[in-house]
Amino acid sequence: MSSTRGKCDLVRCILDRIAYFAGLNAEERRAHWAQHPTDVFAVLPHPSGRGSIFCGQEVHSCLRKLADSYLNSRQGLREQLDRGEFDRSLHHEFVRMFLAEGREPSEASAKELLLEAVDSTRTSFVPRTHHIPCSLPDMDAPTGFRIGPVWFRPRDAFLKQCGSRTPGGRGAGEYLKLHKWVASIRIGACHAGSSRQHALAGIEGAFNILRLLIHPHVAEELSTAFSAVEPSRIDYLTSGPKGGLHEAFTRRFKSGPLPVGWVRLFRQDMSTYLQPAESALKTVTRPGSEDFLSWRFIHSASWFGDAYTEPAPAGQIVKYVTALETMTLTRGSGDRLKRMALRGAALRALAFDDSPEECYSRLAKLYNLRSKIVHGERPPLNLDLDSKARSARDVAQRVIVAGLLFLSRLSRRGGALGRKQLEQHLTALERRFPRLAKGGPWRAVGADGGAAARARP
């Protein structure tokens, strides 16, 4: 329920159920629990501050509806707080206001209850800087380097700058001994759990930017200490009929050390794409930010990055196509195959002067392959999927980078842009290639109806 009247009715329902349980004697309570065993675990704090009172699952359900009615229209606040802590604060404030103080249910008291729960939760909101151990290729970068808000430093440089002891007296080096690098990121004021989630998303986001813009063999070595990678990351071993262990094959191989000055060269060569990517990544450091376009790129890049730690080629293909859908589609996009292939081809044609014919064909085939995999028409262990996964990576990489440039241009126009506005801009993009989906002559059309030159990076 979202109306104030609905909130007031929920408060009355909660009070009625609490009164019902309070009026049961021991035998009646046992009979009730026999019919509704889960109600045994549904309690609220006692108004005296000692112990608990039984209330039943219906009360907890009503309290969740109260919380949802407030938080669903405040997405920014929802991302800042910990839902479990907010629910506990709501329980305590309800008991204080309506049981201990005897407040009457009303429109004003229902609203005050939610505001008090938010204020109680906000007391734990503070900015934090997170330091996450991670793995990167060998390189000559003694002071580290930055990708947007994330500062990557060699372990020794980090310990020298930040100190080597923790408050508990344990050496920080013990936490970092398995990793040569530390990634640091500062997150704005929010709950500790939400802050950690944003920090991990920011560091993975920095990795994903690198994965999009540098050589794939280098990108495969990027991971945080919490990345889900299979134990047999390097070598697979087999046993023959006569026993003994044999090396089967190496799925990934390490790249050589990155050259001296690679960061400067990387920034020079990739500045066209790196600057808007870093700008989008800063959104992660502002919990509660509703920058829709930046989050759209971050989510698309996240799916792209997930494919790197996915060992199965079939899983990689599914995730690459999901990354493409995230970049090119919204809930109102209609025919998803046609829209994804059409918009992906248009983005690449305008950004890189790629052939729209070829791009549309490759994207449509990739989407159909993903559909066959997820609907069971294509065996996930088909041996030719490995090469198709590499092809999917190349296709997705260029579309996502082209989409980044497109979203960056939209954001520079100013004004709030949401899903509906993005769908309108994507539809307008299709109109610049009126014959793209029909297989006719390929010609980009400018906003004025004339031919438009395709921008090169």
Same structural domain, 356 and 322? yes
Regions of the chain with pLDDT less than 50: 1-4, 168-169, 228-234, 249-253, 440-457
* d(C-alpha 333, C-alpha 82), whole Å: 33
pLDDT number for residue 117? 92
Is pTM, for the whole model, over 0.75? yes
| pLDDT at residue 32, rounded to an integer | 92
How much of the chain, in percent, has pLDDT values that exceed 90?
49
CA nearest 251: which of 374, 389, 395, 367? 389
Residues 130 and 271 in one domain: yes
pLDDT in tens, 303-361: 999 998 888 899 999 999 999 999 999 876 668 888 999 999 999 999 998 888 899 99
What span, in angstroms and rounded, lies between the C-alpha atoms of 366 and 386? Answer: 13
Residues 255 and 303 in one domain: no
Tens digit of pLDDT for each residue in 141-167? 778 899 999 999 998 888 888 875 555
Q: What is the structure's pLDDT at 343?
A: 94
Contact 63, 14 (CB under 8 A): yes
Same domain, 95 and 112: yes
The total domain count for the chain is: 3
Given 255, 288, 321, which residue is the final one in a domain? Answer: 288
Rounded Cα gap, residues 175 and 200, in angstroms: 17
Same domain for 355 and 426, yes or no, is yes
If asked whether residues 132 and 118 sit together in one domain, one would say: no
Which pLDDT score is estimated for 443? 44
Q: What does the block give as tokens for 248?
A: 């089967």
Same structural domain, 79 and 63:
yes
Give the type of residue at 397: Q
Q: Which residues contact 56 (CB under 8 A, 6 or more apart)?
A: 17, 20, 21, 36, 39, 42
Strands (E) across 346-419 are located at: none
Nearest C-alpha neighbor of 121 from the set 71, 176, 166, 158: 71
Q: Where does residue 264 rank: exposed (0-12), middle (13-18), buried (19+ CB within 10 A)?
A: exposed
For residues 152 and 211, membership in a common domain is answered with: yes
pLDDT value, residue 180: 85
- The predicted pLDDT at position 25 comes to 92
Cβ atoms of 408 and 272 within 8 Å: the answer is no
Same-domain status, 203 and 251:
yes
- In a shared domain, residues 118 and 130: no
Query: Do 168 and 115 share a domain, yes or no?
Result: no
Do 296 and 160 fall within a single domain? no
Q: Tokens in use for 254? A: 């390490």
Q: Three-state SS for 144?
A: coil
State the CB neighbour count (10 A cutoff) for residue 231.
Answer: 5
Q: Among 235, 265, 288, give the residue marking a domain's end.
A: 288
The position carrying tokens 């090169």 is 456
| Domain span holding position 171 | 125-288
pLDDT at site 246: 61
Q: 227, 255, 288: which is the final residue of a domain?
A: 288
In eight-state DSSP terms, residue 165 is B
At 401, list the tokens.
Answer: 């980078």
User: Please, are residues 57 and 63 in contact by the beta-carbon 8 Å criterion?
Assistant: no
